Amino acid sequence: MSRSLNQCVIKLHQEHHALEDFQGGVPRWCNGCGDNAILAAMQRLCSVEELAPENTVFVSGIGCSSRLPHYMKTYGFHSLHGRAFPVAEGIKMARPDLKVFVSTGDGDCCSIGAGHWIHALRYNMDITVVLHDNHVYGLTKKQASPTSPRGLKSNTTPYGAALEPMNPLTVSLGVQGASFVAQAVDWVPEVLYDILRAAYLHRGFSFVRILQRCPEFMPKAFDPWLHDPQRTQLLTHANGLQLSPALSAAYRNQLAHDPINLDRAREVASQEDPIPVGILYRNPDAPCYEDLRHPGRLRSPEHVRAGLELEFDKYTVWPDEEPSEQISA
């Protein structure tokens, strides 16, 4: 075997990563928690797409959903509450060659992190975002979140939530610069995976809201949709989801929706029953912020060091003359 062919075979072997290569610690989520399904889909995605663990980063904020980086055998950054987006954006700006994912919850993203979320949509950096939406703060033991249904009695709303819930889909679709918005549910794993894969393959800020079950604090929230497949409307299109025959037979409530149509996407996203599941909007031509700022340039360690030294020199106090020798005691 020639030297070049041998090197090629070795490289191919090194670049293959099995599913087990992405399985980190044992998840500590409750039995039946939708986070488990999301984790399984994400690990499958990394394996199928042959993502190198050393070139993949998962960033999270605070909450049940934000434990996901602990269970991925990749690089991870468990940041502050609501601050996952600026951390992920900083990583992507410094290392645009890395595959960056964000795992966030309905409280982490839509409440304390709402400002970062809106501007992250505007920047349209090449980041894949998964919003775990179970309509409640689970980690802090049942507090109402921005997506909690009106009337929900929780530890912070003992007489029932007074406000109508926020719709993360319509909010995202209303931001100038949004380029990919989709919705999935944890109880249809085939579609969940297909949507996550489409989000990853899209170059830009991919925002996927996943309706997920919380068996501890919202045990029956999604029961009507679980028991009646007709209340889940799958969005199909040549440029969107394409269903398998078995899935198509089980979920017959389908809507042909072209994800390039923003106005129609906003209409569909406003539906509450049936739940729209699929790719609502995709604009592959939207410019990415990192391309506008640093087109085609990687930041090498030498480049970063030179930049730091340049900034440090601005604040260095240079003495006018050498200090006099200290007199020894």
Model confidence pLDDT, tens digit, residues 183-211: 999 999 999 999 999 999 999 999 999 99
- How many CA atoms lie within 13 Å of 146's alpha carbon, on the beta-carbon side? 17
Residue-wise over 131-141: b if at least 16 C-beta within 10 A, else e?
bbbbbbbbeee
Lowest mean pLDDT among 32-36, 230-234, 272-276, 325-329: 325-329
Q: What is the pLDDT of residues 20-42, one digit of tens each?
A: 777 778 899 999 999 999 999 99
What is the rounded CA–CA span in Å between residue 6 and residue 21? 24
Q: What pLDDT was estimated at residue 294?
A: 67
Confidence of residue 9 (pLDDT cuts 50, 70, 90): low
Q: What percent of the chain has pLDDT over 70?
A: 90
In angstroms, the Cα distances linking 141 to 64, 131, 155, 171 are 10, 19, 8, 27
Domains and CATH numbers, the chain: 18-314 (3.40.50.970)
Task: Name the packing angle between helices 114-123 and 84-94 (round to 10°).
Answer: 30
Q: In the predicted model, what is the mean pLDDT of residues 283-303?
A: 81
Q: Which residues pair with 99 in a beta bridge?
A: 56
Q: In the predicted model, what is the mean pLDDT of residues 127-141?
A: 94
Confidence of residue 313 (pLDDT cuts 50, 70, 90): confident
Contact 280, 269 (CB under 8 A): yes
What is the rounded CA–CA span in Å between residue 54 and residue 94? 15
What is the rounded CA–CA span in Å between residue 149 and residue 141? 17
Confidence of residue 299 (pLDDT cuts 50, 70, 90): low
Q: What pLDDT was estimated at residue 192?
A: 98
Q: What is the pLDDT of residues 211-265, one digit of tens each?
A: 999 999 999 999 999 999 999 999 999 988 999 999 999 999 999 999 999 999 9
Q: What pLDDT was estimated at residue 173?
A: 98
Q: What pLDDT was estimated at residue 4?
A: 52
CA gyration radius, the chain: 23
3-state DSSP of the chain: CCHHHHHHHHHHHHHCCCHHHHECCCCCCCCCCHHHHHHHHHHHHHHHCCCCHHHEEEEECCCCHHHHHHHECCEEEECCCCCHHHHHHHHHHHCCCCEEEEEEEHHHHHHHCHHHHHHHHHHCCCCEEEEEECCEECCCCCEECCCCCCCCCCCCCCCCCCCCCCCHHHHHHCCCCCCEEEEEECCCHHHHHHHHHHHHHCCCCEEEEEECCECCCECCCCHHHHHCHHHEEEEECCCCECCCHHHHHHCCCEEECCCCCHHHHHHHHCCCCCEEEEEEEECCCCCCHHHHHCCCCCCCHHHHHHHHHHHHHHCCCCCCCCCCCCCCC
Confidence of residue 137 (pLDDT cuts 50, 70, 90): very high
Structure tokens at 27: 């998840």
Closest CA to 181 of 264, 63, 84, 97: 264
Tell me what the pLDDT averaged over the chain comes to.
90
Q: What percent of the chain has pLDDT over 90?
A: 77
Query: Is the link from the previous residue into 219 a cis peptide, with omega within 30 of 0?
Result: no
